Structure 1
Amino acid sequence: MTSYPKTTTLMERGRAFLGTDYAILCGAMSWVSERNLVSAISNAGGFGVIACGAMTPELLDAEIAATRAMTDRPFGVNLITMHPQLFDLIEVCARHQVGHVVLAGGIPPKGSVEAIKAFDAKVIVFAPTLALAKKLLRSGGDALVIEGMEAGGHIGPVSTSVLAQEFLPELSADHLVFVAGGIGRGEAIAGYLEMGAVGVQLGTRFACATESIAHPNFKAAFFRANARDAVASVQVDPRLPVIPVRALKNKGTEAFTAKQIEVARALDEDGIAMDEAQLQIEHYWAGALRRAVIDGDVESGSLMAGQSVGMVKAEEPVADIIAQLMAESEAALSRR
């Protein structure tokens, strides 16, 4: 392991929590954060996270087993709190003795945190507000990720820099806080570590790694894009609580507007429940993302990307990306 003494010292609590060389998590990107990318990140000293997304328990079972065959280093599993089989997925994690479970997509349902704690796994939570963050940490969350609107995929309304200024002074002394959203270079990592973060999470920088199974068309779209090409989706019907999604603008982003109108009409005419409406939206994104990532349909598929996409210029091995980030952070801290 290359030595980055200043950076690793500031990451010490995060590294100990994750069991890694570097407190760098990979964001859980559906269809992208699978066995190949996850194991590569963990083998390079970071922390890979399997994106369960809409997987069935059987698929997750196979993915965890396959990932474990490719790395003996720690990795986690990201579960969506609104998944209808959430507790079955937690049971799969228990059977595999997964050490860290990330709960994303909303407030964890009653009993879910306790079910994860029952097999001694650590729970990582997301929170868009300081009040909710404190509540989730009191309720059993072992670590928190604050993710700004610059991130790709599902996003909140506040920028990373503002969230960091609000959360870190309040929480960093007593809690483990990772910062995510728009991070593309090590200088930004150094700044958040100095503010009290114990580590960071990146997704977009890893999406086009050599080990990523994303289609060459998907990667090429990232290489062409700049920050302003990654735009947030709009909410069509105020009754439909759609979490905005940041992606590269294409025909797929326009199609999502039509999908919202279709689901809103189903609320009116077919009387479907709001939970079902939300699931339809989530299934839309899962399908649209698959078309882009796996099939290479970059016109109608979803190109979920953060605003740091402009810093993704070429396909690079995961180990090189992590080494570059750490070297940039170390140089920035040494210049202080």
Structure 2
Amino acid sequence: MSEFTKTAALMKRGTDFLGSKYAILCGAMSWVSERNLVSAISNAGGFGVIACGAMTPDLLDTEIAETRKLTDKPFGVNLITMHPDLMDLIGVCAKHGVGHVVLAGGIPPKGSVEAIKAFGAKVIVFAPTLALAKKLLRSGGDALVIEGMEAGGHIGPVSTSVLAQEFLPSLSEDHLVFVAGGIGRGEAIAGYLEMGAVGVQLGTRFACAAESIAHPNFKKAFFRASARDAVASVQVDPRLPVIPVRALKNKGTEAFTSKQREVAGLLDTEGLEMAEAQLQIEHYWAGALRRAVIDGDIENGSLMAGQSVGMVKEEEPAAAIVSSLMEESEAALTRR
């Protein structure tokens, strides 16, 4: 890493933890963060993360095995905490000796963190508030990702820059903190590293990598979009605490509003349990995302994208993206 000396020094705690050349994680994007993109990012020196999403244990088993055929570098697996087969999915990770498991989508259920640590893996958690971050780190989380509302997919209500100012001074000395949300260039990476982050996570910038299996229509939609085209969904019923999702505005974003009304109606008329209602919403997103990413239906599918989408202008190999991010960070730090 001698070519990026200053950036490498600030990333060292992150790279030691991940086992990768650079402390640049790929955000887990359902249907996108699969074997091809994950292996390409890891081979480029970053840290690829398989998006388990709504996969069954058998599908995850195959995905990890196929990823291993494409890279001998470290990569992780992202599991959704509300997945009904979470413990079985953890068992699949144990079978393959996965070194890092990312738990996303809510507070990890009882026993899940312990089950992951039992086979020697590191646990990476998300937290929207400082108090919860401290609790999760006390409860076995080995590293934390703070993700601002600029990110694509499921988001919280606070911007990345504010979260970084709040979390990093309190946590960075004793804990490993990665920053995510709205990062599209290396200058931003340099700034967060200087504030105490040990690395960063990017999703949108990698979604249109040459190795991404996303449909050409999906990628073209990203190339045409500006930051203001990536909008957050709205909650239509206070009883249904749906986590907002940021995506490019299309008929699919309007359909999601209708889906919320439909599920809220089921809460009234059929006594639907809240957990099942939220699961129906998750299944909706999985299907809508597949329509856009795999089938290329960019009108009715979900074009999940962060506000950094305006910086994605062309298809590039993952290695070129990682290299440019490191070069930009190094140049920024050198100018200081």
Q: TM-score scaled by structure 2?
A: 1.00
The question of 1:73 aligning with 2:70 is answered no
CA distance in 2, matches of 1:214, 1:64: 19
User: SS state of the match for residue 11, structure 1?
Assistant: helix
The question of 1:262 aligning with 2:277 is answered no
Match for residue 38 of structure 2?
38
Q: Gaps (5+ residues) in structure 2?
A: none
Match for residue 6 of structure 1?
6
Match for residue 134 of structure 1?
134
Deviation (angstroms), 1:279: 0.2
User: SS state of the match for residue 328, structure 2?
Assistant: helix
Match for residue 250 of structure 2?
250
Match for residue 194 of structure 1?
194
CA-to-aligned-CA distance 1:21-79 (integer Å, 9 cap, x gap): 10000000000000000000000000000000000000000000000010000000000
CA distance in 1, matches of 2:3, 2:263: 53
CA distance in 1, matches of 2:2, 2:315: 22
Match for residue 295 of structure 1?
295
Deviation (angstroms), 1:298: 0.1
Deviation (angstroms), 1:202: 0.1
CA distance in 1, matches of 2:89, 2:32: 19
CA distance in 1, matches of 2:252, 2:326: 35
CA distance in 2, matches of 1:30, 1:270: 30
Match for residue 211 of structure 1?
211
CA distance in 1, matches of 2:211, 2:302: 20
**What does residue range 173-192 of structure 1 map to in structure 2 within 5 Å?**
173-192=173-192
Match for residue 304 of structure 2?
304
Match for residue 112 of structure 1?
112
**What does residue range 147-158 of structure 1 map to in structure 2 within 5 Å?**
147-158=147-158
CA distance in 2, matches of 1:8, 1:152: 27
Match for residue 61 of structure 1?
61
Aligned residues: 336
Deviation (angstroms), 1:3: 1.4
CA distance in 2, matches of 1:3, 1:125: 31
The question of 1:326 aligning with 2:326 is answered yes
Identity of aligned residues (%): 86
CA-to-aligned-CA distance 1:203-260 (integer Å, 9 cap, x gap): 0000000000000000000000000000000000000010000000000000000000
Deviation (angstroms), 1:2: 6.5
Match for residue 234 of structure 1?
234
CA-to-aligned-CA distance 1:262-318 (integer Å, 9 cap, x gap): 000111111110000000000000000000000000000000000000000000000
CA distance in 1, matches of 2:116, 2:80: 14
User: SS state of the match for residue 257, structure 1?
Assistant: helix
CA-to-aligned-CA distance 1:89-114 (integer Å, 9 cap, x gap): 00000000000000000000000000
CA distance in 1, matches of 2:82, 2:316: 34
- Return the letter of the residue paired with 1:170: S
CA-to-aligned-CA distance 1:125-180 (integer Å, 9 cap, x gap): 00000000000000000000000000000000000000000000000000000000
CA distance in 2, matches of 1:272, 1:145: 33
CA distance in 1, matches of 2:19, 2:117: 18
CA distance in 1, matches of 2:242, 2:80: 15
CA distance in 2, matches of 1:31, 1:270: 32
CA distance in 2, matches of 1:215, 1:3: 35
Q: Gaps (5+ residues) in structure 1?
A: none
Match for residue 96 of structure 1?
96
- Return the letter of the residue paired with 1:36: N
CA distance in 1, matches of 2:6, 2:264: 52
- Return the letter of the residue paired with 2:12: E
**What does residue range 8-23 of structure 1 map to in structure 2 within 5 Å?**
8-23=8-23
- Return the letter of the residue paired with 2:267: L
User: SS state of the match for residue 3, structure 2?
Assistant: coil
RMSD: 0.5
User: SS state of the match for residue 282, structure 1?
Assistant: helix
Q: 1:149 to 1:99 in 2, by over 3 A?
A: same
User: SS state of the match for residue 76, structure 1?
Assistant: strand
Match for residue 276 of structure 2?
276
